Chains A and B, each alone.
Chain A
Amino acid sequence: MGRMGRHVFVAGCVALWLLPLYLLVVNALTPVAEYEGKPGWTFQGFALVDNVRTAWDEAGIGDSFQASLLYAVVCGLVAVLVAAMAAFAVVVLPIPRPAFWFWLIYSGTLFPLQVFLAPLFGLYADANLYDTRLGLMLVYVAWAVPFAFFLIRNQMTTMPPELTEAALIDGASFIRVFWSVHVPLMRSGLGAAFLFQFTAVWNDLLLGLTLSRSGDVQPVMASLATLRATYASSGPPVILAGALVVSVPTLLLFLVFRGLFLRGMAASVR
């Protein structure tokens, strides 16, 4: 490819990738009354606030948005803590058969979500966890732990053993070694793991669809799916406004913490 050809090719790709985003924004702005039953290619007005309000209140995205925020933040944090402790046990402490523990916990990422669903549904119905926030939070933590564990473990193996050793000689307990040596030194690794798990929980559709029903429990992606089914004929602008709103948190996180995301990604490539 010549220099010129490269520029043209890249410009073409950028246009191809921007076009759907442009349509998303234009049509999310269109007032429902102005919508002509097919996609508009030019700005028809500025009704973003109205459309978002419709999606937020009438279609119940708002409640789910708060629920999902709770799930993503709490489950992300808990999963990272639990995973960091497990990584500490497998990498630093004298646990028997570290490979066994590693595979046991890591196996959670290999299987498709579908294989857990039916038994989980039964388990939840029996334990009265179906359609409760606690139930969803428990399963999100369990689902997030394996990959967080994988990321954190990979990073922990790069820490010089002398640090642990020195701290132990100074008389620190394991709890202190963990909180005062490993956690502070691995801040960016833990941060990356949290970002990944926040995003994963926020974006989940399948678990939310299966294990919850009511508006204030259902996570936001399941609500968006429902919104799409109920507003299918009447208001694409409302649906697109909803899609725009539910994308804001992950988009913001990604743009603000791009470096951390990429470092986490690079850590998993290596």
Chain B
Amino acid sequence: MTGTVPSTGVPAPPAREPRGRRRRVPLRTPHRAARPGARLGGPLTALPWALPAFAFVGVLLVYPFLRSVYGSFFEDNGFTSSYTGLDNYTRLADDPIFGRSLLNTLMWVAGTLLLPVLAGLVIALATHRLRWGGVAQLVIVLPFAISGTATAALWYFMLTSDGAVNQALRAVGLDSWAQLWLLEWPQNTLALIVASTWQATGLNVVLFAIGLRAIPRDTVEAARLDGANGWRMVRYITLPQLRAVTVVVVGMAIVNSLKAFDMIWILTQGGPSRSSETLALTMYRETFRLFHVGYGSAIALVLSVVVVASSWLYLSRQMPDTGWAKA
């Protein structure tokens, strides 16, 4: 989701059943012998069904991706291009903006892992089996239904120098806490992370709540009889039972934080003087504002490698039995 969620891709484990046990119905049933060949046809009968999806994804996603890889070896300003080998990549290593951008990206990953996941877990635990817990969850999940762009427009209004946050801080006598939130690094990046936490936490609350409801009552009862309560119950019963959900939530958080774009673009445009740029922003600015197309492709590629590698590493370690590691 894009930005957000679902804005977009959720790297949940795709194949639950081990390979080979997938149900390819007609091939394996005894009835096949009763109706020799005719209806099932050859293996090619299935192709027309997969072809539209393949055409869309192949032409508009896979081909551009390969083209991007290829383009990253060229110096390209949108009009002329010349082969420069790995120059774009060595330039990256020296570019101070790339360094800052990488640091900001890491802050985003760390921040959006810590805040929305922890907050989501704690709020889900606190609202579980609370009489008005459902209402509270609904309120907290509302921002999730609002787009990142609209959320960002709202938070801009809260974070500008005489915005609502500073007003509130001054009103309660914390004048010294009031800041130029969006104008100085690192608090601009931190403020953006808080804003995206406000939006993203609700989804995690819902996911954790689903996980909590799925814990068998017997397990809880048994633990209670054994004298587990409060913190011990959470630590030794609830958290282990939530493991499957946590894997997905964390996996999603990693990918989404790396891709974060609309929140930053609307709130600061990566500024001032590119101090709050992440890799996603740097790539956009290099390609479409400065017309360094080849250089932008190199950044995009580094970003993809980071996204795919981190979700791969994380998921294949967390769920070794689901085919992620083998696939």
Contacts and interface: CB of A to CB of B under 8 A. Distances in A.
Contact of A102 (B8, B14, B49, B154): B14
Interface stretch (B86-94, B132-140, B183-191): B132-140
A85 to B, nearest CB: 5
Contacts of B307: 110-112
B50 A225 contact: no
Contacts of B24: 91-94, 98
Interface size range of chain B in the complex? 35 or more
A134 interface: no
A251 interface: yes
B300 A117 contact: yes
B64 A203 contact: no
Contact of A20 (B2, B7, B144, B158): B158
B43 A95 contact: yes
Nearest to A239: B153
Nearest to B70: A119
Nearest to A254: B145
Contacts of B59: 142
Interface string A122-151: 110000000000000011011101110110
Tell me the dominant secondary structure on chain A's binding face.
helix
Contact of A23 (B2, B154, B283): B154
A242 B153 CA distance: 9
Contacts of A56: none
B280 A114 contact: yes
Contact of A94 (B35, B40, B308): B40
A269 B12 CA distance: 7
Contact of B61 (A39, A142, A269): A142
B210 A262 contact: yes
Contact of B211 (A17, A110, A138, A269): A269
B140 A205 contact: no
B49 A85 contact: yes
Given A95-B46, A119-B68, A104 B62 contact: yes
B61 A143 contact: yes
Contacts of B142: 17, 21, 251, 254
Contacts of B126: 1, 6, 9-10, 13
B150 A39 contact: no
B95 interface: no
A66 interface: no
Interface string B26-63: 11010100010001100101110110111011111111
A54 interface: no
Contacts of A199: 1, 5-7, 145
Contacts of A101: 50, 54
Given A20-B154, A203-B3, A240-B157, A108 B57 contact: yes
A38 B167 contact: yes
Contacts of B261: 113-114, 205-206
Contacts of A168: 26, 31, 35, 39-40
Interface of B: 1-12, 14-17, 19, 22-27, 29, 31, 35, 39-40, 43, 45-47, 49-50, 52-54, 56-65, 67-68, 71, 123, 126-127, 130, 132-133, 136, 138-140, 142-150, 153-158, 162-164, 167, 198, 202-203, 206-207, 210-211, 230, 244-245, 248, 255, 258-259, 261-262, 265-266, 280, 283-284, 287-288, 293, 296-297, 299-301, 303-304, 307-308, 311, 327
27 contacts: A27-B157, A38-B162, A39-B164, A41-B164, A94-B45, A95-B49, A101-B54, A110-B307, A112-B258, A115-B65, A120-B64, A145-B53, A147-B9, A150-B10, A161-B25, A203-B3, A203-B262, A206-B284, A209-B265, A221-B149, A225-B266, A228-B153, A246-B147, A251-B142, A253-B145, A269-B244, A269-B248
